């Protein structure tokens, strides 16, 4: 069962651009070497930042994104260390029973007083591709992939009316972003924080891996208002 699951998951991720070539052996010592270089450069070039980060953190953005290694929020936004408070999982799915996520959200909005919540998905999401394969995921993947499948199953006529498989994947990626944003918005944690601080906003973004560009996902498009989540 586990071997079968891993096989079709690899196929799903391969469909979205992941390499299927054998990986070269990786020496983790390289990370320590790079850390020394980065540490020395940062302390020399940004001593004030180092002092500030050693004292506290004051991130401005709460980022909810996919765990895909190609979608690193600090890098793709050109941000500095300490600017973004990050939560990443399979396909940026927010599920109502995810205690870890809502602990993160509560801490972000209350202790850190972050005002911008950004839900970001990406073109070519392997989690979405895997969900479209209609096969049983592993025990711990199921809540994430089944949530995505639910969007498609509840709106089969809408997806049947789309053209290519790429278009189906793209729209499901966008609708999954919107669904996660709505799950945040409906939560007691968010509503309580919003009452205390009305300035809190939710943003829905899409990252295109092919051209490295972020764009806004419009939540109120007429065609999306008819979608059932």
pLDDT per residue over 87-98, tens digit each? 999 999 999 889
Q: Tell me the percentage of the chain whose pLDDT exceeds 90.
A: 79
Residues at the annotated binding site for Zn(2+)? 66, 68, 122, 125
pLDDT given at position 47: 97
Residues 6+ apart with CB under 8 A from 129: 12, 13, 15, 16, 169
Look up residue 210 and give its two tokens. Answer: 């092919």
Q: Which is the CATH superfamily of the domain at 2-18+58-220? A: Carbonic anhydrase (3.40.1050.10)
70 in helix, strand or coil? coil
pLDDT given at position 20: 54
CA distance 197 to 195: 6
Q: What is the mean pLDDT of the chain?
A: 91
Sheet holding 213-216, edge to edge: 84-89, 61-66, 116-122, 201-208, 213-216
Mean pLDDT of 10-29: 68
23 pLDDT band, cuts 50/70/90, is: confident
Q: Which of 5-9, 68-72, 146-150 has the lowest mean pLDDT?
A: 5-9
Residues at the annotated binding site? 66, 68, 122, 125
Closest CA to 169 of 132, 141, 213: 132
Mean pLDDT of 101-120: 98
Sketch the domain layout of the chain as residue ranges: 2-18+58-220
Q: Tell me the percentage of the chain whose pLDDT exceeds 70.
A: 90
pLDDT per residue over 142-183, tens digit each? 999 999 999 999 999 999 999 899 999 999 999 999 999 999
Other Cβ atoms within 10 Å of 141 Cβ, number? 17
CA distance 162 to 124: 17
């Amino acid at each position: 069962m586990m071997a079968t699951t891993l096989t079709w998951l690899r196929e799903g991720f391969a469909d979205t651009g992941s390499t299927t070539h054998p990986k070269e052996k990786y020496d983790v010592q390289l990370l320590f070497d790079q850390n020394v270089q980065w540490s020395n450069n940062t302390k020399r070039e940004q001593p004030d930042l180092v002092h500030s980060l050693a004292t506290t953190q004051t991130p401005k953005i709460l980022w909810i994104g996919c765990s895909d290694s190609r979608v690193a929020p600090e890098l793709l936004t050109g941000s500095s260390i300490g600017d973004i408070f990050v939560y990443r999982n399979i396909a940026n799915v927010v599920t109502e029973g995810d205690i870890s996520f809502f602990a993160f959200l509560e801490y972000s909005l209350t202790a850190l007083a972050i005002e911008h919540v950004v839900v970001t998905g990406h073109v070519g999401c392997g989690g979405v591709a895997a969900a479209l394969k209609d096969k049983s995921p592993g025990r711990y993947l199921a809540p994430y992939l089944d949530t995505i499948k639910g969007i498609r199953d509840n709106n089969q006529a809408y997806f049947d009316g789309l053209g290519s498989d790429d278009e189906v994947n793209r729209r499901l990626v966008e609708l999954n972003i919107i669904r996660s944003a709505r799950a945040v918005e409906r939560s007691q944690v968010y509503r309580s924080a919003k009452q205390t601080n009305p300035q809190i906003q939710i943003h829905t973004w899409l990252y295109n891996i092919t051209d490295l560009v972020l764009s806004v996902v419009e939540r109120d498009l007429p065609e999306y208002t008819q979608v059932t989540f």
